[in-house]
Homo-oligomer: A and B are copies of this chain.
């Protein structure tokens, strides 16, 4: 993922997994810019701000992944990431300008399914390349896939999508990562493993969206009573407990 740099501007020879990584970055950047313009995320961002959020979505996951496997992040080294993510952000702004809200919502939902498996695949491969175990490969795949969304949601002061009902966001990423690791260990070439992992992750996510499958939200916690709302010292709590 960090090929030797062959020019002082940082351009370098790419392998198949680098191209998949570029697809992951570009599609996620497109999605990040769309997300920044959704009314539930929009916070009077400037054009520069929308581009930064596109980068957060596009290369955030790749940076976190490479930091976790203890490498200099490839998206910071290889200028193609920066160029393609910028192009994706501009395209998203153009689409945003010319489309109705309903079309954009559908496009965004479709794109969250389409963009999801790529980072899971590249993350899993990065962990396998670093000779980590199978479980680590799946976990790093999940983190790489979802870190960008966490950063964007945080910046928009929204609870991260990973934590609330959302058509099996994490599960889809896990499925794609597991499929890739299994295919790789069975001995499939990278391109076949990628195709299978993509179809599984994309298909599951799209099915969940279409049929409205969602993660289970447990019982509501009881609201605090008036007495409990007053912040108590542990000492007072123990006293109160005693008297009963």
Contact = CB atoms under 8 A, between A and B. Distances in A.
Interface stretch (A13-21, A22-30, A188-196, A231-239): A231-239
A17 to B, nearest CB: 19
A141 B38 CA distance: 30
Interface in A187-215: 206, 209-212, 214-215
Given A132-B77, A139-B82, A217-B44, A101 B228 contact: yes
A163 interface: yes
B10 A136 contact: yes
Copies in the assembly, this chain: 3
Nearest to A160: B155
A180 B224 CA distance: 39
Contact of A235 (B46, B68, B211): B211
Contacts of A42: 221
A232 B10 CA distance: 42
Interface string A106-131: 10011000000000000000000011
A222 B132 contact: no
A226 interface: no
Contacts of A110: 234
Contact of A53 (B109, B163, B236, B241): B163
B163 A10 contact: no
B82 A135 contact: yes
Nearest to A216: B47
A170 B222 contact: no
A182 interface: no
A91 interface: no
A38 B224 CA distance: 9
5 contacts: A8-B134, A46-B164, A68-B73, A72-B130, A212-B236
Given A10-B133, A76-B140, A96-B221, 4 more contacts: A8-B134, A46-B215, A69-B72, A210-B234
Interface of A: 5, 7-11, 37-40, 42-50, 52-53, 63, 67-73, 76-77, 79, 82, 93, 96-97, 101-102, 105-106, 109-110, 130-136, 139-140, 150, 154-157, 159-160, 162-165, 170-171, 206, 209-212, 214-219, 221-225, 228, 232-238, 240-241
